[in-house]
């Protein structure tokens, strides 16, 4: 506890600090009125061996306005500071006078400082939001997986059988094809040509040109000129050299790259020259090249079975399901509000058809659920452009009695037919809940014949992996 002394006296602070204070007993308006001898008090820290000079003055009210107090007894005389303390105080005072005295900030300066801090904090927050928006321009912020109806769109690689996410499928297929080259280099090169090159017309021209080269060799095996392909040939450069995988194919079927002299000139040219032993299988390689198709990952249905739930009609879809850019997603809300105004306008048939086509192109995929008679829910992922029969096939493959006829009812209650209509043409995108029902006439016949009651609708192995729909 700090003890306060008047009349100037050393005493000890509760933190181990020695103080010397002088309290003025005369009224003061400011500290500038204090003489040098009256305003000296010092303290020092023995641990740091540092000295600091402080000024402490108490301004007392004037005698006219000061409240009357009872006279106090005169304090007992006490010993003054030692000579060493006085010398330390003088040295500290000299050092202090050499330094500029800091001015305490005014209230206006304090306000400015506080406002500056708040503005800097707001600027930092705005910068953080801009960074988040910039990242969102390429890909929308990922949703929490546990809140989604499905974690994403997945594909199955036909080479490896692995299931990969939509954004990883192309890289996985390319890696799988390149790895397959160690087992079957010819097949891998053919897959490269048909899969890695996007322009189908260029692929067609390149494949036909290579097939023509191989045909000439097959028809004229004795003529050496047909077994050589000039790399600087204009047709080769325009149709073959520009395609990925063509060089790998030619080398895999038996061509070797050689540099040959130009007859009558002091120069050389690069050629592909077919080895003699490669003639026998050349026709077979040509047929495979012409008949092959691009290697495409297959959409994985992500089949799920859920227990009966009142949340079956609630869908939370990831961004993979939408064929929209980030900017288009932001405009989606505005377009929905405009739809109300458009509904009140008279529109031509062409206007309505154009808007319907635009609506169809919004979605790449759709998530479909089928509520079964026992309440269980079957879920699968489909392309939005797939026809209705694919849904019937998906459901039938999950049934325990897959030979029995059944019906599917759309959300509006009408019965779906197995016509070749796509899901986006039936309004079943980007999600829909349908109802399963056994054919009523067949069920009546089974009941009339005394047949056993239907057991579980789904296969037992599917029920073993049943989940809870959150």
- Hey, what are 16's tokens? 């181990």
pLDDT in the model for residue 187: 97
pLDDT: which is higher, 262 or 451: 262
Q: Element (H or E) spanning 87, and its range?
A: helix 83-98
Distance CA 56, CA 36 (A): 12
pLDDT: which is higher, 456 or 116: 456
DSSP characters for 340-360?
HHHHTS---HHHHHHHHHHHH
- Listed by start position, the domains of the chain span 9-68+75-97, 156-291, 304-322+363-463, 324-360
Distance CA 396, CA 462 (A): 13
Lowest mean pLDDT among 31-35, 48-52, 418-422: 48-52
Q: At 15, is the pLDDT very low, low, confident or very high (cuts 50, 70, 90)?
A: very low
pLDDT in tens, 397-444: 999 999 999 999 999 889 998 788 999 988 899 999 999 999 988 888
Distance CA 283, CA 315 (A): 54
pLDDT in tens, 202-233: 999 999 999 999 999 999 998 999 999 999 99
Number of C-beta neighbours around residue 385 at 10 A = 16
Q: What are phi and psi of 136, to 5 degrees?
A: -70, -15
CA atoms lying within 13 Å on the CB side of residue 224? 1
User: What is the average per-residue pLDDT within 56-83?
Assistant: 48
Cβ within 8 Å of residue 27, ≥6 positions away: 59, 60, 61, 62, 63, 66
CA atoms lying within 13 Å on the CB side of residue 389? 3
Sign, CA torsion 415/377/323/162 = negative
pLDDT in the model for residue 176: 96
CA atoms lying within 13 Å on the CB side of residue 84? 2
Distance CA 415, CA 141 (A): 38
- pLDDT, the chain, mean: 77
Percent of the chain with pLDDT over 90: 50
pLDDT in the model for residue 199: 96
Q: Which of 243, 249, 242 is nearest to 289 (CA)?
A: 249
Lowest mean pLDDT among 139-153, 233-247, 304-318, 338-352: 338-352
pLDDT in the model for residue 396: 97
- Hey, what are 73's tokens? 């007894």
Q: What are phi and psi of 206, to 5 degrees?
A: -65, -45
Residue 74 in this model has a pLDDT that exceeds 90: no
Residue 87 in this model has a pLDDT that exceeds 70: no
pLDDT in the model for residue 13: 45
Domain 304-322+363-463 matching CATH 3.10.20.90: the answer reads yes
Cα–Cα separations (whole angstroms), residue 405 to 320, 400, 436, 438? 34, 12, 11, 6
pLDDT in the model for residue 57: 36
The CATH T-level fold of domain 156-291 is Methane Monooxygenase Hydroxylase; Chain G, domain 1 (1.20.58)
Distance CA 256, CA 240 (A): 16
156-291 against 304-322+363-463: fold identical? no
Distance CA 443, CA 427 (A): 30
Residue 56 in this model has a pLDDT that exceeds 70: no
pLDDT in the model for residue 10: 45
pLDDT in the model for residue 76: 53
Q: Element (H or E) spanning 339, and its range?
A: helix 326-343
Within 148-184, where are the H helices? 169-180
3-state DSSP assignment of residue 85: helix
Sign, CA torsion 352/355/357/362 = negative
3-state DSSP assignment of residue 329: helix
pTM of the model: 0.61
Distance CA 71, CA 398 (A): 104
User: What is the average per-residue pLDDT within 329-344?
Assistant: 61
pLDDT in tens, 381-407: 999 999 999 999 999 999 999 999 999
Cis preceding-peptide flag for 430 (omega within 30 of 0): yes
Q: Are 343 and 335 in contact (CB under 8 A)?
A: no
Residue 246 in this model has a pLDDT that exceeds 90: yes
User: How would you label 314-348 residue by residue, b for 16+ Cβ within 10 Å and e otherwise?
Assistant: ebebbebbbebeeeeeeeeeeeeeeeeeeeeeeee
User: What is the average per-residue pLDDT within 113-121?
Assistant: 57
Distance CA 100, CA 79 (A): 34
């Amino acid at each position: 506890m700090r003890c306060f002394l008047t009349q100037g006296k050393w005493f000890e602070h509760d933190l181990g600090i020695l103080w010397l204070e002088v309290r003025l007993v005369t009224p003061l308006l400011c500290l500038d009125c204090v003489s040098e001898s009256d305003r000296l008090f010092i303290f020092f820290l023995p641990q740091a061996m540092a000295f600091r000079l402080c000024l402490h003055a108490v301004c007392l009210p004037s005698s006219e306005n000061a409240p009357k107090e009872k006279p106090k007894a005169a304090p007992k005389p006490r010993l003054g500071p030692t000579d060493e303390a006085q010398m330390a105080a003088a040295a500290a005072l000299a050092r202090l006078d050499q330094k500029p005295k800091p001015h305490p900030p005014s209230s206006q300066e304090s306000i400015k400082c506080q406002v500056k801090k708040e503005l800097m904090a707001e600027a930092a927050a705005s910068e953080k939001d801009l960074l988040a928006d910039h990242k969102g321009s390429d890909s929308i912020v990922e949703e929490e997986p546990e809140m989604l109806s499905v974690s994403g769109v997945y594909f199955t690689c036909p080479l490896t059988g692995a299931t990969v996410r939509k954004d990883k499928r192309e890289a996985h297929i390319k890696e799988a094809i390149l790895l397959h080259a160690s087992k079957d280099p010819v097949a891998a090169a053919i897959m490269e040509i048909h899969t890695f090159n996007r322009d189908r017309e260029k692929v067609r021209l390149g494949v036909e040109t290579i097939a023509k080269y191989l045909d000439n060799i097959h028809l004229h095996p004795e003529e050496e000129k047909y077994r050589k392909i000039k790399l600087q040939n204009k047709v080769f450069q325009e149709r073959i050299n520009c395609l990925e995988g063509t060089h790998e194919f030619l080398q895999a079927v038996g061509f070797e790259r050689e540099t040959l002299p130009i007859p009558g000139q002091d120069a050389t040219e690069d050629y592909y020259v077919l080895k003699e032993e490669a003639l026998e299988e050349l026709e077979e390689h040509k047929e495979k090249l012409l008949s092959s198709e691009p290697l495409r990952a297959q959409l994985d249905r992500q089949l799920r079975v859920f227990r009966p739930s009142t949340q079956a009609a609630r869908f939370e879809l990831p961004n993979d399901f939408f064929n929209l850019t980030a900017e288009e997603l932001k405009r989606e809300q505005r377009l929905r509000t405009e739809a109300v105004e458009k509904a009140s306008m008279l529109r031509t048939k062409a206007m309505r058809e154009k808007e319907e086509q635009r609506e169809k192109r919004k979605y790449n995929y759709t998530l479909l659920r089928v509520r079964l008679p026992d309440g269980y829910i079957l879920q699968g992922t489909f392309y939005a452009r797939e026809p209705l029969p694919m849904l019937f096939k998906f459901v039938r493959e999950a049934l325990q009695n897959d030979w029995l006829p059944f019906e599917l009812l759309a959300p509006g209650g009408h019965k779906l037919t197995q016509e070749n209509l796509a899901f986006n043409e039936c309004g079943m995108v980007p999600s829909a809940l349908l109802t399963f029902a056994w054919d009523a006439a067949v069920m009546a016949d089974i009941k009339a014949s005394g047949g056993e009651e239907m057991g579980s609708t789904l296969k037992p192995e599917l029920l073993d992996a049943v989940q809870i729909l959150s």
